Chains A and B, each alone.
Chain A
Amino acid sequence: MVSSLVFGSVCYAKNYVINLDTTITDKTIVIIPFLSFKTSDKIKEAIDNGTRIQLIAKAQLFEPNNWWFNKEIDNKKFNLEVSYFTLSKLYVVKNMQSGKQQGFNDYEQLWKELGKLSVFKFKNPSKESLMVRFRLMLDKGALPTVMQLPVLIDSQWDINTPWFNKKISPK
């Protein structure tokens, strides 16, 4: 009951997670999110003008509990930096933790491919029932200082997805 209240999968924001593709092996659980993700013109303008924005991709693995808070087994997160490379007119997404980056000609294509760049790999805890959840959100603290305050109150910068929960059975 509590968990459904806290982690309800109702999507109420403009951007949301359509589904989580889970690949379960004996040792690992791989999660690939499918997103419905769009940005405002304001964000595009900011990126085109050299602003680097960072997104935080967060995934958590829970053992569900019907009558109490879910027990967290593992959680992972990484930052994805989106920037515009003027010399070749390329949008670049960079994983800040691994350093890997990928260029996109098309801005819209970037956001379509974003889920594929947010792949999480968890160790399989071999439980009967588990719950995974994922969200993507803007890292406001990584924005240039002067933009942090306006972003805080500007709805066009509200690109966070709500948590998406999915039950899985690893065994």
Chain B
Amino acid sequence: MKKTHVKNSLIFLLIVILISSLYFLGLAVQGAEQFNRIYLWLFGASVLAVFVLGMVIVQRFVWLFAKRKKNEPGIKLTSRMVKTFVFLSLPPVLVVYLFSTQFLNNYIDSWFDTKTNQALNDSLKLGQLFLDVQTTQALTQTKAIALKLAEIDPPRQAIYLERFLDESSASDLMLISASEKTIEQASINLLELNTNPPPQSIYQGVRTGNNYARIEPKQGGLLQIRILVKVEGSMNLSNSYRFLQGLFPIKNEYSALAYNIETASVGYNQQLYQRKELKKTFNIILFLVMMISMLLALVRAFSSARNLVAPVKLLSQATQRIAEGNYSQNIPVSSTDEIGFLVKSFNTMSSQLASSSALAHRAQTEAMSQKWYLENVLSRLSSGVLSINNDQRVLMANSAARKILNLSSKEIINQNIQQLNLKNIGLTPFVDLVLTKLNDHSEEWQQETLITEGDLRKVLVVRGSRIPDQEQDDSGMVVVFDDQTIINQAQRDAAWSEVARRLAHEVKNPLTPIQLSAERLRLRFLDKMSEQDKDILDRATQTIVTQVDNLKTLVNAFSDYAKAPELKREARGLNKLIQAAVDLYYVSHAGINFTLELLDPEPTMYIDKVRFSQLLTNLIKNSVEGSDISNVSITISSFISKLIENNLVIKFSDQGHGFTEKILAHLFEPYETTKATGSGLGLAIVKKIVEEHGGNIKAYNHNSGATIEIVLPIYQK
């Protein structure tokens, strides 16, 4: 801002200097004596100022060009306005210049007319004639004196000189030797003695016999006649000649008139002679004036265009910022005209927009806050929540929903509910249920459904409720669902535990008396019976004892399942436990091929080693017993889980015939077995131990057998 002000002040100063120079230049050309000496300086200053002004204009054009290249806001309008100003201002300036030069040239020519010239020449001739007469008279007188002097003895000539001066009309007589030295001088004015000797250049002419007679201007605007004649020296002893100079004044009134004629004539001739130069000078000054007018018009054009465009440019920039969302724009109002009114209105609009935007922003923030709060609450829920509009599009799904349905946010949000089928075919019962309820406009409903995820099955309890809308009857439905699988499983586990506990308690008590009774019967009656009966009794009692033993084993297994001993956990690795379990089976069961792919170095786990050894034994036993082939291959591997952070996966894979579909669904439930002699509690106990250690277990078939996968948390210090 300050820089612009200084720049404008400099331009203004330049313009003032320029106009002043031109004014004084004009005065100098018109003949003002005081400016004559500084004419060239004034002219130089004007040219320099025009040059500087020209440079300013060039700089402005360069600026305009550069801005146009950058396509700055408002620059096109500035260019257009500059162009308009230039086209408006240049023609009148050019017209005035052309007419002025034309007029000036004609006007200067009109100063000189033939009659005036003739009159002046005539008057000059008249003056010359008059002066010639005067000169002739003076010459006659001087010659007469010279003749008289020639007859006088030279030493006495000086004495006579004063006398001749008195007798003649001369004001000064001077006797000069042949060597051009003053011999004697007689003068009316004593102050002029020893002055006014004849110029050396005229002696030669007089020596050759030509007399010198000329009118001369004198100081003080007077005229005098200078006569120089030769004084012959025939009478002289030395026979040498001398010179006589006579100065004859011309009367003041004649001198003044002659001077006037001379001055007027000279002045006229001078102007006539300088006519061309005068025209040139005026033309140059007019050209300078035209250039200044043009350049000033250009400067003004730039300045006006920028002043006019400045608020428009500011408006454009502010509008752009508003479009970008920055509503708080205030443009300084620099004028009271329509542009000023426009700027004021813009400021008002901007202010209102800003306040509206602030309100909207606040409302939006509140809504966002509420949404965030709702999402936060929903994300904390263990129940899955879906919001579905009437177009069957899912608008919202919380994290539990995504987890239960095993879909990502992208796969659910803004997708048609029917699309979920394509992502996961196991969700079909759930999708069908929701669609049915959406279509029949049920207000509130609850239903259990089953979904599958690979080999896993999940039991979902689904509840739905219509979302009322102010304008429409309904705007969709909110669906809340819970994964009941674990709860159901837990309930089943608890029930089984209770069954096992009661079974163990009720069945275990009479077993010993049965066994003892059977053994007593055998001991008491075996020897007393016939061979045939003896055999029958023996086999019967043997069967009873064997079956009671079997029942005891079964009851003990149930008892183990039912009771939940306190865990004695410690931080340790699993590899040694796995190796020990494998070694035990490797020794006792020939033909089992174990392959161990254990993580090394192994992570530290927090486990009860006794319970975990039982888990390992049960799993190996289950694989061995479940296989009907002679050579059993079991692969035990461990690795860090990629799905759950800080968890270790232990995988048991065999090369058997795998699990059937039916078994797989209830594999970890008690009394589910494919073996004839098994209690069906092995895997149920395994699952229980895993869950006691905070892990989970799953089973599935692979290409050539079954796999049981255990995921356990790694110990965190």
Residues of A that sit less than 8 Å from B by CB: 45-46, 49-51, 84-88, 90, 92, 99, 101-106, 109, 112-113, 116, 140-142, 144-150, 152
Chain B residues 244 to 285 lying within 8 A of chain A, measured CB to CB, are 258, 261-262, 265-267, 269-270, 272-274, 277-278, 280-281, 284
Contact A144-B270, Cβ < 8 Å, known A86-B262, A104-B199, A104-B201: yes
Please tell me if the beta carbons of B266 and A102 are within 8 angstroms of each other in the complex.
no
B39 at the interface (CB under 8 A from A): yes
For the complex, give the distance between the alpha carbons of A90 and B269 in Å.
16
Contacts of B215 in A (CB 8 A): 85, 87-88, 90
Task: Give min CB distance, B244 to chain A, whole Å.
Answer: 18
One of A86, A105, A147 near B124 (C-beta < 8 A): A86
- Residue in chain B with minimal CB distance to A139: B37
Instruction: Please give the distance in Å from A111's CB to the nearest CB on chain B.
Output: 11
Q: Is A109 touching B270 in the complex (CB atoms < 8 A)?
A: no
Q: A86-B124, A105-B202, A149-B284 are in contact. Are A141 and B36 (CB under 8 A)?
A: yes
Contact B274 A147 (CB under 8 A): yes
Q: B284 and A87: CB pair below 8 A?
A: no
Q: Are A141 and B202 in contact (CB under 8 A)?
A: no
A86/B201 contact (C-beta < 8 A), A49-B273, A149-B43 known: no
Give the docked Cα–Cα distance between A148 and B216 (Å): 29
Chain B residue contacts of A99, Cβ below 8 A: 219
Given contacts A51-B273, A105-B214, contact A141 B39 (CB under 8 A): yes
- A145 engages B281 (CB within 8 Å): yes
**Which residues of B lie under 8 Å from residue A112 when comparing CB positions?**
201
Nearest-neighbour CB distance to chain B for A97, whole angstroms, equals 13
Known contacts: A145-B28, A145-B281. The answer to whether A87 contacts B36 by CB under 8 A is no
Q: How far is the CA of A46 from the CA of B277 in the complex (A)?
A: 12
Shortest beta-carbon contacts, A-B, top 9:
A49-B273, A50-B266, A50-B270, A88-B215, A146-B277, A141-B37, A146-B281, A50-B269, A146-B278
Q: State whether the Cβ of B31 lies closer than 8 Å to any Cβ in chain A.
A: yes
Residues of chain B contacted by A106 (CB below 8 angstroms) = 201
Contact B201 A50 (CB under 8 A): no
A113 (CB) vs chain B CBs: closest residue: B201
| CB closest chain-B residue, reference A49 | B273
Count, chain B residues at interface, CB 8 A: 41
Chain A residues closer than 8 Å to B274, beta-carbon distance: 51, 144, 146-147
Of A85, A116, A142, the contact of B262 (CB 8 Å cutoff):
A85
Annotate B124-137 by CB proximity to A: 1 below 8 A, 0 otherwise.
10011001000000
22 sampled A-B residue pairs with Cβ under 8 A: A49-B269, A50-B265, A85-B215, A86-B262, A86-B265, A87-B131, A87-B215, A87-B258, A87-B262, A88-B215, A90-B214, A90-B216, A101-B217, A102-B199, A103-B214, A112-B201, A141-B40, A144-B31, A147-B274, A148-B39, A149-B281, A149-B284
Contacts A87-B131, A141-B39 given; 4 further ones with Cβ under 8 A? A86-B266, A88-B131, A103-B199, A103-B216
Q: Are B281 and A50 in contact (CB under 8 A)?
A: no
Q: Is the interface of A mostly helix, strand, loop or mixed?
A: mixed
Interface of B toward A, CB cutoff 8 Å: 28-29, 31, 35-40, 43, 124, 127-128, 131, 199-202, 214-217, 219, 223, 226, 258, 261-262, 265-267, 269-270, 272-274, 277-278, 280-281, 284
B36 (CB) vs chain A CBs: closest residue: A145
Residues of A near B281 (CB, < 8 A) are: 145-146, 149
Least CB distance, A82 to chain B, in whole angstroms: 13
Question: Given known contacts A90-B214, A145-B281, is B266 in contact with A113 (CB within 8 Å)?
Answer: no
Contact, CB under 8 Å: B273 / A85: no
Determine the distance from Cα of A46 to Cα of B28 in the docked complex, in whole angstroms: 20
Q: Which residues of A contact B272 (CB under 8 A)?
A: 49
Which residues of B sit under 8 angstroms from A51, Cβ to Cβ?
270, 273-274
- Which residue on chain B has the smallest CB distance to residue A102? B199
**Is there an interface contact between B131 and A147, defined as CB atoms closer than 8 Å?**
no
Alpha-carbon distance between A101 and B226 when the two chains are bound, in angstroms = 13
CA distance A101 to B224 in the complex (A): 13
How long is the Cα–Cα vector from A85 to B263 in the complex, in angstroms?
9
Beta-carbon contact of B200 and A113 below 8 Å:
yes
Measured between C-beta atoms, what is the minimum distance from A92 to chain B in Å?
A: 6
Closest residue on chain A to residue B204 by CB atoms: A109
Min CB distance, B259 to chain A, in Å?
9
Bound CA–CA A140/B698 (angstroms): 118
Q: Is the CB of A147 within 8 A of B277?
A: yes
* Cβ–Cβ contact B273 & A88, under 8 A: no
Within the complex, the shortest CB–CB distance from A151 to chain B, in Å, comes to 9
Centre residue among A86, A141, A145 by max chain B CB count within 10 A: A145
Inside 8 A of A85's CB, which chain B residues have their CB? Answer: 215-217, 262
Q: How far is the CA of A102 from the CA of B196 in the complex (A)?
A: 9
| Chain B hits for A152, CB < 8 A | 40
Instruction: Give Cα A84 to B31, complex, Å.
Output: 20
A-chain residues with CB within 8 Å of residue B273 when the two chains form the complex: 45-46, 49-51
User: Is the beta-carbon distance between A140 and B40 smaller than 8 angstroms?
Assistant: yes
In the bound complex, CA of A141 to CA of B35 (Å) = 10
Whether A87 and B199, one on each chain, are in contact in the complex, defined by CB atoms closer than 8 angstroms, is no
* Nearest chain B residue, comparing its CB with the CB of A104: B201
Nearest A-chain residue to B31, judged by Cβ: A145
Q: Which residue of A lies closest to B270 (CB)?
A: A50
- CA A121 – CA B365 in complex, angstroms? 103
Q: Which residues from A are CB-within-8-Å of B36?
A: 141-142, 144-145
Alpha-carbon gap, A148 to B43, bound state (A): 10
Which residue on chain A has the smallest CB distance to residue B29?
A145
Closest to A117 in B: B199
Please tell me if the beta carbons of B128 and A148 are within 8 angstroms of each other in the complex. Answer: no
Q: How far is the CA of A77 from the CA of B36 in the complex (A)?
A: 21
Residues of A within 8 A of B265 (CB): 50, 86
- Residue picked from B35, B37, B277, B284, most chain A C-beta under 10 Å: B277
Residues of A within 8 A of B200 (CB): 113, 116
